[in-house]
Amino acid sequence: MPKSLQQWLGDLELRGPAPIALGLDRVAQVDQTLRALRGVEAAAQPLVFMVAGTNGKGSTVCYIDSVLRAAGLRCGRFTSPHLIEYAERIVVDGVKASEQAIVSAFERIESARADTELTYFEFSTLAALEVFRDAKLDAWVLEVGLGGRLDAVNIIDADVAVITSIDLDHQQYLGNDREGIGLEKAGIMRPGRPAVLGDPAPPHSVIKRAAELNAPLYRIGHEFTVAGPAHSSTLRWRAPDDSVHELPQSPLPGDHQRRNLAAALTALWCMRDRWPFQTAVLRDGVLAASLSGRLQRLPAHCALYLDVAHNPDGARALAAWLGSQRRSDQRILAVFALLADKDLEGVLEPLLPLIDEWSLAELEGARAHSGVDLASAISARGEADASIHPSVITALRRALDLARSNDLVVVFGSFLVAEQVLRDRG
């Protein structure tokens, strides 16, 4: 009997050389076999955007996909990780891929791989490419999972590379400083093809690599800009040709999202000769963009927001937004949990001055910081009260019980945290 998607996923979680095993040889070899089985179809390649970065990748992918679909293009979007269900990773024309389509792709990959071992993410990447090829799409928008140079997605030669923020995360794989991490992310660039940088202060290694590749480089604050008051309903994006487009503010809150949106728009501008680039289309695409877990407002008696911030760069972006929202009569209450491989001190530093009360959650498994660890780190650096709870949901209920109608509750720290909240609140 054929395996269901859940059976496949359970099997894949137990297989592969390691949970994370960077390198292109394995996945490229299997992809070559899959393409050969398709024959002449393998020669047809759509318009491809690839997005790397420490944070902001998913949002940037979302903006590009939304604008292309507003222009009438049939578009595939690959992102990771998912929040609720696996099919969130593989989206065709705004609709999650069917279980049948994903299972069919898995079966072909299993047959093509022979003795080659593949990680869970490598299987996912190949499955997305197979689903997109089956659908014969006009464009693909691909999110890099980790780093860039050795990430499985990088077997594809993108028409334009986008690098969002660059900061310290996954140092055990990518390096211990921004220069080294930036160089890994610059691995998605291709000779002579445009590269867009959404980081206001990119490492020199990224700029140097673009020059070595003779890749046209477009940097926020230089070749393109974004301006306009955050409280306004519109923003002004200046494209690299100095044309100015007045567009709606990002539907996703925060100044960091304005930078992500500007980078996405610039990537689209780079390929303007291959799709109907018009200000009206950009406007429609921006308005239609939607993504869960990015300062997502949830129903409650008070202001309740959910965010996937889980590293220092994400915490700084979250802190900047909280600071812009805070009123003198308002308390900010946090529901927080964090995986053990994340920089706890770096995440707490920008947020401690803003949070009045912490509800700390235990996450299942050895990968998570314990509630005691979280509480100790907070008490050593701040004066806010902190309580420990057996789950994210009990921590959230505690925070909502404490919150007055004019208070703000923010839930953050991990995609796992966001998943549990979204499942609980339907």
Main-chain phi, psi angles of 412, to 5 degrees: -160, 175
The tokens describing 394, both together, are 């009990």
The pTM (predicted TM-score) of the whole model is 0.94
Query: Would you list the domain boundaries of the chain?
Result: 5-288, 296-425
Question: CB burial class (10 A; 0-12, 13-18, 19+) of residue 328?
Answer: exposed
The answer to whether the beta carbons of residues 123 and 28 sit under 8 Å apart is no
How many CA atoms are closer than 13 Å to the CA of 183, on its beta-carbon side?
12
- Cβ neighbours for 351, distance < 8 A, ≥ 6 positions apart: 315, 318, 319, 322, 334
Domain 296-425 has CATH 3.10.20.30: no
> Measured between alpha carbons, how far is 254 from 322 in angstroms, rounded to an integer?
9
Q: How many residues does the chain have?
A: 426
- Cβ neighbours for 22, distance < 8 A, ≥ 6 positions apart: 146, 147, 150, 151, 173
- Give the CATH superfamily of 5-288: Mur-like, catalytic domain (3.40.1190.10)
> Measured between alpha carbons, how far is 178 from 184 in angstroms, rounded to an integer?
10
5-288 shares its CATH topology with 296-425: no
The string of DSSP codes covering 311-362 is: SHHHHHHHHHHHHHH--TT--EEEEE--BTTS-HHHHHTTTTTT-SEEEEEP
Q: Residue 245: in which H helix or E strand, if any?
A: strand 244-248
> Measured between alpha carbons, how far is 395 from 382 in angstroms, rounded to an integer?
20
Q: How far is CA 365 from CA 355, 356, 374, 408, in A?
A: 27, 28, 15, 29
> Measured between alpha carbons, how far is 90 from 82 in angstroms, rounded to an integer?
10
**Which pLDDT tens digits describe the chain residue by residue (426 residues)?**
788 999 999 998 887 666 666 667 888 889 888 888 777 555 567 999 999 999 999 999 999 999 999 999 999 999 999 999 999 999 999 999 999 999 999 999 999 998 888 889 999 999 999 999 999 999 999 999 878 888 889 999 999 999 999 886 656 655 678 898 899 899 999 999 999 999 999 999 999 999 999 999 999 999 999 998 767 889 999 999 999 999 999 999 988 999 999 999 999 999 999 999 999 999 999 999 999 999 999 999 999 999 999 999 999 999 999 999 888 889 999 999 999 888 999 999 999 999 999 999 998 866 788 989 999 999 988 778 899 999 999 999 999 999 999 999 999 999 999 999 999 986
